[in-house]
Amino acid sequence: MYMGFTGYQLGDDVAVFNGLENYRAMLHDRYFWQAVWTGLIWALTITTGQILLGLGLALLLNGKLRLRWLARTLVLVPWAMPSVIKGLMWRLVYHPDAGILNYFLMSIGILDHKINWLADFTWTLPAVILVGIWSGMPQSAITLLAGLQTIPDELYEAADIDGAGSWEKFWHVTRPLLRPVLVAISSLEFIWNFNSFSLVYVLTEGGPGGRTRLPMLLAYEEAFRYGNFGYAAALGNAMMIIIAVFVFVYFRHQMREQA
């Protein structure tokens, strides 16, 4: 935290205090604002996808499926895999020549030429976002499944007696009782996604041209590629402040729910 108020460069003997100089530079750094904007798009899109798809999966797993215990176990596989392994696996899927995605889309006639998904300015961010949703969705699904199992069956039985359909039961029974869990997991997922690093680094290293450079990747580049440890620490402090705002909103909401 202190280093963020110094001009420390790799190789310097001491970290010289420079006050708010790093933060003044940050306000005029277009790469910083680009990274924050990309991080917000990344976090909002992935969190929304994880929650919506996770809720659908949780509703499915909460039903009367055969081998339900096995399905619940398999759902956790993408989340349990190390980020580096997931990144390397999806790099193979997105490979322009040997990747299965291009092969599949061309075989069914959707594409007429190969796309370099992780190097194309148009498709890189959506491709990485898809991996992020796939990677984090199981955690959302299992958390929401736990919330669904706390809802008493008597409420659904009463809704059946009143003639409610599947949508009415979801909207008037499931949604209100699941709301605290939805708010909690959405807030936490947003914070975790905004701080993402390893998955995107393995997939694109922030490229092409900074298209997928998240705030954590920018701080990493400044520190370990350019040696600007003071400025990188300042970036970390700024990110901590941004996350603290969301944490404050989350805890304030939780306190209201408890009250």
pLDDT digits (tens, 9 = 90+) for 194-210: 989 999 999 999 989 89
Residue given tokens 């199992």 in the structure block: 149
Mean pLDDT of the region 81-88: 93
pLDDT digits (tens, 9 = 90+) for 226-243: 999 999 999 999 999 988
* Candidate from 87-91, 122-126, 184-188, 221-225 with smallest mean pLDDT: 184-188
Q: Which two tokens stand for residue 259?
A: 């009250």
The pLDDT value recorded for residue 177 is 92
Neighbours of 139 (CB within 10 A): 20
Closest C-alpha among 40, 151, 215 to residue 206 = 215
Give the global pTM: 0.89
Tell me how far CA of residue 108 lies from CA of 99, 102, 103, 111, 115, in angstroms. 15, 10, 9, 8, 15
**R_g of the chain computed on alpha carbons:** 22
Class of the 28-258 domain?
A: mainly alpha
Q: Tell me how far the alpha carbon of residue 139 is from its chain's centroid.
A: 11
Residue 171 is given by DSSP the state: I
Residue 228 is given by DSSP the state: -
The pLDDT value recorded for residue 102 is 95
